[in-house]
Amino acid sequence: MVSSPAKDVNVTSNNALIRPSELEAQIPLSPPAEASVLEGRRQLESVLSGADDRFAVIVGPCSIHDQPAALDYAKRLKPLAEQLSDRLLIVMRVYFEKPRTTVGWKGLIYDPNLNDTYQIEDGLRRARTLLLEIAEAGLYSATEFLDPIVPQYLSDLVTWAAIGARTTESQTHRQMASGLSMPVGFKNGTDGDPQTAVDALVAASTPQAFLGIDHDGQASIVETKGNANCHLVMRGGRGGTNYDARSIAVAQAALRKANRPGHVVVDCSHGNSNKDHTRQHIAFADVIAQRTAGNRDLLGVMLESNINAGAQKLSDDPAALEYGISITDSCIGWDETVNLLEWAYAELG
Q: Which of 298, 240, 251, 243 is nearest to 268 (CA)?
A: 243
CATH number of 20-348: 3.20.20.70
104 band by pLDDT with thresholds 50, 70 and 90 = confident
Residue 346 pLDDT greater than 80, yes or no: yes
Residue 2 pLDDT greater than 90, yes or no: no
CA atoms within 13 A on the CB side of 69: 20
Residue 101 pLDDT greater than 90, yes or no: no
- pLDDT digits 0-9 by tens, 122-135: 999 999 999 999 99
Look at residue 151 in the predicted model and tell me its pLDDT: 98
Q: Is 102 or 336 the better-scoring residue by pLDDT? A: 336
Q: How far apart are CA 198 and CA 335, in angstroms?
A: 35
- pLDDT digits 0-9 by tens, 194-228: 999 999 999 999 999 999 999 999 999 999 999 99
Residue 232 pLDDT greater than 80, yes or no: yes
Q: Which of 57, 58, 72, 67 is nearest to 308 (CA)?
A: 72
Which sign does the torsion angle of CA 174, 29, 220, 207 carry? Answer: negative
Distances (CA, A) of 140 to 39, 156, 219: 9, 12, 30
List, in sequence order, every beta strand (DSSP E) within 214-327.
219-223, 230-234, 264-267, 298-304
Can you state the angle between helices 195-204 and 171-179, rounded to 10 degrees? 50
Q: DSSP state, 55?
A: E
- pLDDT digits 0-9 by tens, 13-69: 999 999 999 999 999 999 999 999 999 999 999 999 999 999 999 999 999 999 999
Q: How far apart are CA 31 and CA 49, in angstroms?
A: 27
Distances (CA, A) of 299 to 49, 88, 302: 10, 10, 11
- Sequence ranges of the domains in the chain: 20-348
Rg (CA), the chain: 20
List, in sequence order, every beta strand (DSSP E) within 82-216.
88-93, 141-144, 160-163, 184-187, 209-213
Beta strands at 209-213 and 219-223: parallel, antiparallel or unpaired: antiparallel
Q: How far apart are CA 304 and CA 46, in angstroms?
A: 24
Look at residue 1 in the predicted model and tell me its pLDDT: 59
